[in-house]
Chains A and B, each alone.
Chain A
Amino acid sequence: MMTHQWPILSTVTFLPLFGALLILMIKDDSDNAKRNIRNVAFLTTLFVFILSLIVWAGFDNTDPGFQMEERAKWLGGGISYHMGVDGLSVLFVVLSAFLMPFCILASWETIKHQLKDYMIAFLILETMTIGVFCALDAVLFYIFFEASLIPMFIIIGVWGGAHRVYASLKFFLYTLLGSLFMLVAIMVMYWQTGSLDILILLNHKFSFHMQVWLWFAFLASFAVKMPMWPVHTWLPDAHVEAPTAGSVILAGILLKLGGYGFLRFSLPMFPLASARFAPLIFTLSIIAIVYASLVALVQGDMKKLIAYSSVGHMGYVTMGIFAANEQSVEGAIFQMLSHGIISSALFLCVGVIYDRMHTREIVAFGGLINKMPKYAAVFLILTMANIALPGTAGFPGEFLTLIGVFRVNHFVACIATTGIVLSALYALYLYRRVILGTLKKENLKTFVDLSFREKFILYPMVILALLFGMYPAPVLNVIHCSAELLVSNYNNAVQAHAGMVFLQ
């Protein structure tokens, strides 16, 4: 226990709230004030990112347990303010903190009205998302997990596109359904164990019967967040209506909450149920991969296309988590992290041309390479990363997941591998229609290539998308020990149960 040290996780988590407070105090009328709002928001997120890097630097890769723990009395009765990170969560903290400054930059000029509220919403969102990954108490987790939706609702509902009301209503209905089940499950767990500290819950052995009910309750919530087929239909609508930065956070971080939840709760706490219902997850996952890829093929809206591609990519993640071996779990985590960078960057790319044309219809574009060669190069690298070309960050995740799943179930892995053909199909088809060809349309002829601000946003992402493909070790090394522990605990539990059944 290192409670005597500087509580760095709380600092990282709540610093954005402090920034939001500062912004709240700025009077929002003059251009000067607007500049101050932007600067405060950017500097806050930048500072949070630097702090998150310090967390990463201070993280001990060889320790599979929780680190940098903080504990304080809170509600009493087994519910405390407990924070900490392990190999499964620490990089998600870094990812969230990494994406935020880019979101602020991406909104620099595009957000015209209610700038102050917008920045406050984003900073609150940052606190909530980082909090989810740091929380080591189920109530704390639940609060962050659910509260992260409120700023997102507002971002879509206020700064969104034409059908923003429908999109946020759909989002609301889906998540409400899921979260209620999770709430009940948390209550039941408290009733069973007398504590909601995740460390205690992890060591508690629930009966098989109990595990099944709890597993399904958590599934209801996490499956919506992933999103898994068939509860995925909120995602394309939410993406289409959200402003660019909203899409970035949605794809980059909010989709990862579900996967993280599976890793933190479902797999380690309910191993027997996970093992029993892994075939269900496999089925849903391969349907998601094939189905979403085929649907992506016929989309006319760029954001919808990328959204459906995300559904497919998350199929690999769910499949990998429940295959529960080292390759598949590490692959799933890597896939989530790389997808967080790649799909975010793709949404930023769409934002670049949306800002110029104010449409995302694929047919409105064509031949952009003639006017925007740098943009074409960036889009190409990201497209290749999206279809998991070896050497890009998309590859290790997909490859490890597939090889891990193949060890457990050949058939499932075979079907899932068709995703590499289908993803190439929709991604290259998109690239061909938007970027390649002759520049025929009059209104495209005035386009200028990436501005300095756009380069500043996209280039780091492109570099990371390549770097982690060639040399994923810095990421994988962090994950190793915790994933190993997770898998071995899972296997022990499943084997012990099998042994007991055998003895009876």
Chain B
Amino acid sequence: MLLYHGIVFLPLIGFLIAGLYGTHIGARACELITCVFMVIVAIFSWIAFFFMAFSNVNVLHIPVLCWMTVGDLDINWAFRIDTLTVVMFVVVNSVSALVHIYSIGYMQHDPNRTRFFSYLSLFTFMMLILVTSDNLIQMFFGWEGVGLVSYLLIGFWHQRSEANRAAMKAFIVNRVGDFGFLLGIFCIFVLFGTVDFNDLFLRSLSGQFSGGLSFFNGKIIGEDALTIVCLLLFFAAMGKSAQFVLHTWLPDAMEGPTPVSALIHAATMVTAGVFMIARMSPLFELASTALTTITCIGATTAFFGASVSLVQNDIKRVIAYSTCSQLGYMFVALGVGAYGAGIFHLFTHAFFKALLFLGAGSVIHALSDEQDMRRMGGLWKYLPKTYWMMIIGTMTLTGVGIPGTFFGTAGFFSKDPIIEAAFIVANPFGEYAFWILILTGFFTSFYSWRLIFMTFHGKPRATADIMHHVHESPPIMLFPLLFLGFGALFAGVLFQPYFFGYAYQDFWNGALFTSESNNVVHAVHHVPLWVKWLPFFVMTAGFFLAFLFYIVMPSMPKALKARFPKIYKFLLKKWYFDEFYTIFLVTPAFAIGRVLWKKGDMKIIDGFGPNGIAVRVLDITNRIVRMQTGYLYHYAFTMLVSLVMLITWMLIGSIR
């Protein structure tokens, strides 16, 4: 039991030490303390993982403290430990520990690095609260908590106005999602009379709804009410996991330091939405409309992210849109009921995407903070270790592997089952998702290799001055890459049977709920051969096309750009989402605010109310008394007179 307390609270202690005493003990001590704590926590997490996943224990409840008890609403601080939690433990804490260590090298010249390390630890703590939550409110605490730290870390370089803008945008867009989360919680409380996961799942599965929802006398009951709940929760997940329409904050979040992008905006926080839906599977599994919505949004996001990624020139933005796209895959998995596959992709994605980001960070670090790929090229000679690690990351992201064998990267083992699961769902939405994901697979392969070729191959395009300083990163930054590379290569083949294979039942132990009719886990093994091989072919095609465009005939992309300027602009401008929101949401909000203030408050309310009268009164008082505070006595006098009247009246009354 103490193990779990240690896992959750050590990062908090690290944060408090670095945050409160950072200036006294110095930056080096802060780095050491937070890193050592995180390494301990990561080791604990793996212990917990092996204990939990391979024992007969279903779920542990560890109460910590009472939070609020008001009437029939009872909220406690408590940990819920099951296989899903420990999987997240491993993901969050392994990546966090490696990012902590990496940051010692990456941030070594930053004067504010004590603050940086304290934020990293605080983030880890919030994330752990989120994944261990035993009720919806605690989850909401972690949910908003990671949002806060994400805000702080995106805006870490607070001198840059772009960073501040991006940080605020991230927070606001997430709050839009949280609006859905809160309403979802309210609906659940009204429907089930509890916010506790245990009771909630029991009541949901046994169909104990204590009523319905009502809007304007229209009553919504049963499955429809459940659908509304699930859609509201999914809306929250869309915000946190940057799904289509609420995705705009994620690419901008790349203004933060690169280790932050790796930890928060690739491996952990953005996957919180996936985790939440998997956690709530006993509800979602009963709301089929919500599930099809998730499938559609997920597939659309996957396509959108990959399409925008094709033309971006900022190395981090390419990976950011790729994250967006990969999260779409996870949501498709959830939407078709393959929760295990979704979580498995979350698990492997954390390794290879963190690897790609940290690799990109290593490149950026080497090139004196240059992020534009148009000013890179030919770096493989200078950064051989980083290069090979990036190659591993790219191979994993594109899903290199041979169907039907054990040869494959982690991405192959986690992504292909999602595509297969989409295929076997016999409805138009599943079909839509299947074909979209195939196309996305092609795009993914293209933009990933485009990144490699533009960055590491061809002639160096950086200035001579920068090229002069190019250097391979120090061992403290390469060591985490090595670990992640190992995970990216082997996590798939090692864990696939447990997450989404023959040992599914024993491994998850009820942590993920699948209804009777849902047999997607078994059915994926019986898809036609062409479905298994199709992703392989599009991936290869993507590679060759990128090779053709950026190695063999570098003039091709320019020719295409000139041939289709509209499409190019559309993709480069990210489908014009930011422009759309600025015109239709942000500007109107300010305009309405101004109108309400100038016209509503000043003209109408004040004009007809106090000012109209005040003008008269001021006139009179000015004439009578030239004293500023005259009316104060006036008022006191009025009150006194009225009091006297009141008392007199009552005395008369009592005599009678």
Chain A positions near chain B (C-beta within 8 angstroms): 75-79, 139, 143, 146-147, 149-150, 153-154, 157-158, 165-166, 168-170, 172-174, 176, 179-180, 183, 186-187, 190-191, 230-231, 233-234, 291, 294-299, 325-327, 330-331, 367, 369-370, 384, 389-391, 396, 399-400, 402-403, 406-407, 410-411, 413-414, 417-418, 420-422, 424-425, 428-429, 432, 436-438, 470-473, 476, 480, 484
**A157-B628, A186-B646, A297-B593 given as contacts; is B638 within 8 A of A176 (CB)?**
yes
B529 within 8 A of A: no
Contact (Cβ within 8 A) B68 A295: no
The complex places the Cα of A436 from the Cα of B167 at a distance, in Å, of 11
The complex places the Cα of A52 from the Cα of B587 at a distance, in Å, of 49
The complex places the Cα of A186 from the Cα of B642 at a distance, in Å, of 12
A297, A399, A418, A470: the one contacting B590 at CB < 8 Å is: A297
Q: Which residues of A contact B628 (CB under 8 A)?
A: 157, 165
Contact (Cβ within 8 A) B144 A390: yes
Contact (Cβ within 8 A) B175 A233: no
Q: Which residues of B contact A472 (CB under 8 A)?
A: 67-68
B55-93: CB near A (< 8 Å → 1, else 0) gives: 000000000011111111100000000000000000000
The complex places the Cα of A169 from the Cα of B73 at a distance, in Å, of 45
B168 within 8 A of A: yes
| Given A233-B601, A325-B71, A367-B159, 16 further pairs, Cβ under 8 A | A75-B650, A76-B654, A77-B654, A146-B639, A150-B635, A168-B629, A173-B613, A295-B596, A399-B182, A400-B70, A402-B182, A411-B215, A418-B179, A424-B172, A432-B165, A437-B159
Q: Which residues of A contact B383 (CB under 8 A)?
A: none
B565 within 8 A of A: no
Contact (Cβ within 8 A) A294 B593: yes
The complex places the Cα of A400 from the Cα of B67 at a distance, in Å, of 12
The complex places the Cα of A179 from the Cα of B188 at a distance, in Å, of 43
A100 to chain B, nearest CB (A): 22
B589 within 8 A of A: yes
List residues of B (620-656) whose CB comes within 8 Å of A's CBs. 628-629, 631-632, 635-636, 638-639, 642-643, 646-647, 649-651, 653-654
B68, B165, B629: the one contacting A476 at CB < 8 Å is: B68
Contact (Cβ within 8 A) A326 B71: yes
The complex places the Cα of A193 from the Cα of B219 at a distance, in Å, of 44
Interface residues on B, range: 35 or more
A368 to chain B, nearest CB (A): 10
Contact (Cβ within 8 A) A172 B635: yes
A207 to chain B, nearest CB (A): 20
B525 within 8 A of A: no
Contact (Cβ within 8 A) A400 B164: no
Q: Which residues of B contact A234 (CB under 8 A)?
A: 610
B142 to chain A, nearest CB (A): 8
Q: Which residues of B contact A367 (CB under 8 A)?
A: 159
B559 within 8 A of A: no
List residues of B (147-171) whose CB comes within 8 Å of A's CBs. 148, 151, 155, 158-159, 161, 164-165, 168, 171
Q: Which residues of A contact B213 (CB under 8 A)?
A: 410
Q: Which residues of B contact A170 (CB under 8 A)?
A: 606, 610-611, 614
B486 within 8 A of A: no
Q: Which residues of A contact B179 (CB under 8 A)?
A: 417-418, 420-421
Q: Which residue of A lies closest to B604 (CB)?
A: A230
Contact (Cβ within 8 A) A187 B144: no
Q: Which residue of B lies closest to A423 (CB)?
A: B175
Contact (Cβ within 8 A) B175 A187: no
B172, B631, B636: the one contacting A169 at CB < 8 Å is: B631
Contact (Cβ within 8 A) B164 A436: yes
A191, A369, A411, A413: the one contacting B653 at CB < 8 Å is: A191
Contact (Cβ within 8 A) B610 A473: no
Contact (Cβ within 8 A) A406 B186: yes
Contact (Cβ within 8 A) B141 A391: yes
The complex places the Cα of A436 from the Cα of B171 at a distance, in Å, of 15
B66, B140, B605: the one contacting A390 at CB < 8 Å is: B140
**A165-B628, A421-B172, A437-B164 given as contacts; is B66 within 8 A of A473 (CB)?**
yes
Q: Which residues of B contact A139 (CB under 8 A)?
A: 646-647
The complex places the Cα of A480 from the Cα of B642 at a distance, in Å, of 38
A78, A154, A291, A425: the one contacting B629 at CB < 8 Å is: A154
Contact (Cβ within 8 A) A298 B214: no
Q: Which residues of A contact B609 (CB under 8 A)?
A: 231, 233
